[in-house]
Amino acid sequence: MEVISKNNSHGGVQGVYRHASDITMCEMTFALFLPPLGLTPPPVLWYLSGLTCNHSNVMEKGEYRRLAAELGIAIVCPDTSPRGENVPDEADNWQFGSGAGFYLDATEAPFSTNYKMYSYILNELTDLVAENFSVDMTRQGVFGHSMGGHGALVMAIRQPGRFKSCSAFAPIVQPMTADWSSSAFAKYLGEEKETWRAYDAVALIEDGYRFPSILVDQGEADSFLESGLRPWLLEKACKDAGMKLDLRIHPGFDHSYFFISTFMEDHLRWHSSSL
């Protein structure tokens, strides 16, 4: 593992690291904030970024370090997809390929060789973090934004024994039918839509998967609200399943990091109460 940078911040350390991945078959970069270390290792909170982003977006604009240091939470920010000259991509399509891995394990060639972000985060990157940093992997939470909100919901709902908390900013709650994700699912997973359900939060809940409690914040002025995000679908699925969802709609807020940073502290406190 290569150290790209380290910066002191709020008594902790914000680092950026690179390593060769056996799962995505390319070099991967991630950020990790370690709070001031106390007598016990801190819990780990995973932040999954949205379309077109990488580890740096939330690291530079998310405004999480002050409170994460105060609460004693380590924040891990993976990339959103594999990258590199040998990784297949559609350079003119921001909704697919580089920056748009959708946190799934692709099964269709040529994407199945590299696009395995689900396994990469849950297995390889988790092991790497556990081996190289003083953190408590028995206490993990996950949250994210947009495509990353989709990833956070799916990972938590499928792994309720692993994650103790879950939240999302403006998540894509039903990517199987959303305008900007259904075409990507077809390329990554094939045309058999039944297999897509494993990476769709609403479908997973309909299929009997459960998570104790989820927090979702959504901006009412989000330009993607009607075509891509549609939180009311998650609200209905949770209601029908008897699953607790705290869905908060905020007038005047869009899809940007101005929105995310405004409510970041609420999410950190939400996770801290469980971690």
Summarised one tens digit per residue, pLDDT across range 213-223 is: 999 999 999 99
Helix H segments across the chain?
Answer: 55-61, 65-71, 117-119, 126-132, 147-158, 182-189, 201-206, 231-241, 257-274
| Span 74-98, pLDDT tens digits | 999 999 999 999 999 898 998 898 9
Determine the residue type at 11: G
Domain total in the chain: 1
| Span 154-168, pLDDT tens digits | 999 999 999 999 999
Residue ranges making up the domain that contains 28 = 2-274
CA distance 51 to 75: 20
Q: What is the mean pLDDT of residues 247-253?
A: 98
CB atoms within 10 A of CB 131: 8
Question: Which residues are designated catalytic?
Answer: 146, 222, 255
DSSP conformational letter for 55: H
What pLDDT does 39 receive?
Answer: 78
3-state class percentages of the chain: helix first, strand second, coil last, to nearest 5: 35, 25, 40
What pLDDT does 21 receive?
Answer: 98
What pLDDT does 38 receive?
Answer: 79
CA distance 120 to 130: 14
| Span 7-51, pLDDT tens digits | 999 999 999 999 999 999 999 999 999 999 877 999 999 999 999
What pLDDT does 220 receive?
Answer: 98
- The CATH number covering residue 115 comes to 3.40.50.1820
DSSP conformational letter for 173: S
Round the average pLDDT of the chain to a whole number and report it.
97
Q: Report which of 229, 199, 207 is spatially closest to residue 51, judged by C-alpha positions.
A: 229
Quote the pTM value: 0.97
| Span 57-71, pLDDT tens digits | 999 999 999 999 999
| Span 136-189, pLDDT tens digits | 999 999 999 999 999 999 999 999 999 999 999 999 999 999 988 999 999 999
